[in-house]
Amino acid sequence: MANDRMIKTMADMELRIVRADYGNPDHAAALVELLDAYARDPAGGGKPLAAFARANLVSALARRPQAFSVLAFRGEAAVGLVNCIEGFSTFACQALVNVHDVAVLASHRGQGVAPAMLALVEQIARERGACKLTLEVLAGNTSANRLYQNLGFQSYQLDPAMGQAQFLQKWL
């Protein structure tokens, strides 16, 4: 694939970063397993993915042209995942890409996996004509916050008198 990246890492084992092919059974299995590992982590809520999500996630993503995912492999082992969903900035009148999930297996954190995946995400976002990347992160996830700040992400505000933007949700 044109978007594949090869990066030499510890002990000369290559870190391979690829745009996921939802039709590839190996990519599909890696996506589900990595997202499940993230969901089980305290930063992901501490609970496994529901059976429905495990069974339907990849096909649901594949049906959405605005969705794409990036996978990281060390050797043959899948070690990282980023899921992204394209949105739209009305103020800029351009696409934006929301980085929805960033997951790296605990055994591979701190080894450059997330920055390498996010570099490919940024490349794909630029190819799509996106004006920005957005993401959410828990305040207590200090290592992720530090990483994102080092990569240029920052909280935003439109007017300092109105304060910083907050991310809210309402379950339906």
Q: What is the pLDDT of residues 104-134, one digit of tens each?
A: 999 999 999 999 999 999 999 999 999 999 9
CA-CA distance, 101 to 85, in Å (whole number)?
A: 10
On whether the CB atoms of residues 74 and 105 are closer than 8 A, the answer is no
On whether the CB atoms of residues 72 and 113 are closer than 8 A, the answer is yes
- Going by DSSP bridges, is the β-strand pair 133-135/94-104 parallel, antiparallel, or unpaired? parallel
Residue pLDDT, tens place only, 50-69: 999 999 999 999 999 999 99
Residue stretches of the chain with pLDDT short of 50 = 1-2, 7-12
Helices marked H in 3-157? 25-40, 51-62, 113-127, 142-150
On whether the CB atoms of residues 39 and 154 are closer than 8 A, the answer is no
Is the domain defined by 5-151 classed in CATH 3.40.630.30? yes
- Sequence ranges of the domains in the chain: 5-151
